[in-house]
Amino acid sequence: MFEWLLIPAAYLLGSVSCAIITCRVMGLPDPRGQGSGNPGATNVMRIGGKKAAGITLLGDMLKGFIPAYLANLLGMSPIVLAMTGLAAFFGHLYPIFFGLKGGKGVATSLGVLLGFSWVLGLAVIGTWLLVYKLRKISSLSALAASVLSPIYAWFILGDKVIFCAAVVMMAFLLFRHKSNIQRLLAGEEGKPASSNNE
């Protein structure tokens, strides 16, 4: 019974918008009305600087990591583990507390993957860092890490259910980044006027 309570609890935790709460606590403008309009760490960086962005990034990662890690720690079945992680991820994308208008999900998906497996999470983080070092474009780094995450999940964990969960998160991340992808194809992403990643 407890395992099925974990899934809605994960969604509710994911629905807590760290970007909006951080900005309110620090006296900053609502991120939904500034910059790119996305309640995520990159947009908070534009509004309030590194400290606010760091708090947002950590919070968004933890709300994905905590439910997935707890499900893993309790030895839940792969289907419950996957559904718990996805619930937290979709809570971030479509938060019930904020009119179903959330961020793009990069940090929360990373937290979920870390909760599934620290090796998997580190592989995704390493990909993000490598691409960013080479190209200095946050959205491109996130997209590259996202596209490779299901491949990493398959080779590291070898579980079809977790692989499918990674594919679902990848698909939604690509969808939420469609404007970034268009700018990348046009060679405009990463320029000062661009509204990048989150």
- Return the closest-CA partner of residue 106 out of 80, 145, 132: 145
Predicted local confidence at residue 194, as pLDDT: 41
The string of pLDDT tens digits covering residues 83-136 is 999 999 999 999 999 888 888 999 999 999 999 999 999 999 999 999 999 988
Whether the pLDDT of residue 176 is over 70: the answer is: yes
The Cα 141–Cα 12 span in angstroms is 28
**CA separation, residue 47 to residues 28, 35, 53, 88, 93 (Å):** 7, 7, 9, 25, 20
The Cα 84–Cα 79 span in angstroms is 8
In the chain, the amino acid numbered 139 is S
The Cα 91–Cα 9 span in angstroms is 10
The string of pLDDT tens digits covering residues 45-75 is 888 889 999 999 999 999 999 999 999 999 9
The Cα 198–Cα 93 span in angstroms is 11
The string of pLDDT tens digits covering residues 144-172 is 999 999 999 999 999 999 999 999 999 99
Predicted local confidence at residue 198, as pLDDT: 53
The Cα 7–Cα 98 span in angstroms is 19
Residue 133: other Cβ atoms inside 10 A? 9
The Cα 122–Cα 33 span in angstroms is 33
User: Is 124:145 a contact under the CB 8 Å cutoff?
Assistant: yes
Whether the pLDDT of residue 196 is over 70: the answer is: no
The Cα 171–Cα 190 span in angstroms is 22
The Cα 179–Cα 71 span in angstroms is 34
